[in-house]
Amino acid sequence: KAGVTQTPRYLIKTRGQQVTLSCSPISGHRSVSWYQQTPGQGLQFLFEYFSETQRNKGNFPGRFSGRQFSNSRSEMNVSTLELGDSALYLCASSLEDFESTQYFGPGTRLTVL
């Protein structure tokens, strides 16, 4: 089976812009979770989607949003970018939820200038 893929791998944006990141899960996986990884804050949970519905959400402002399509592919959107949004954004897919083995994608490195 193909692994989790994320596009784009690298992205440079300026403050105030918006960005959309994409995640394609492993075939058959219905849960997709998003995480932000920074040197200062470590790994933080953003949200999880299951069957096109946001099932759980971490403590991030409303500028961070996402959606999931019927084929389980997921997108994450960040509006009005801030310098502090510079991070590696990881998505992970699993069969059912966090307690099913999560398989991470390679991440999207976002730099906000």
Partner 1 sequence: GENVEQHPSTLSVQEGDSAVIKCTYSDSASNYFPWYKQELGKRPQLIIDIRSNVGEKKDQRIAVTLNKTAKHFSLHITETQPEDSAVYFCAASIRGKTSYDKVIFGPGTSLSVIP
Q: Which residue ranges make up the site for partner 1 (CB under 8 A)?
A: 31, 33, 42-45, 48, 50, 55-56, 58, 90, 92, 96-99, 101-102, 104-107
Q: Which is nearer to partner 1, 11 or 45 (CB)?
A: 45
Closest to partner 1 by CB, 4 vs 81, is: 4
Query: In the bound complex, what is the minimum distance in angstroms from residue 75's beta carbon to partner 1?
Result: 19
* Number of other CB atoms surrounding residue 34 within 10 Å: 24
Minimum distance, C-beta of residue 106 to partner 1, in the bound complex (Å): 6
- Taking the complex as a whole, the smallest distance from the CB of residue 110 to partner 1 amounts, in Å, to 16
Question: What is d(CA 84, CA 81) in angstroms, rounded to the nearest whole number?
Answer: 8
Closest Cα partner for 26 from 87, 101, 88? 101
Burial class (CB in 10 A: 0-12, 13-18, 19+), 73: middle
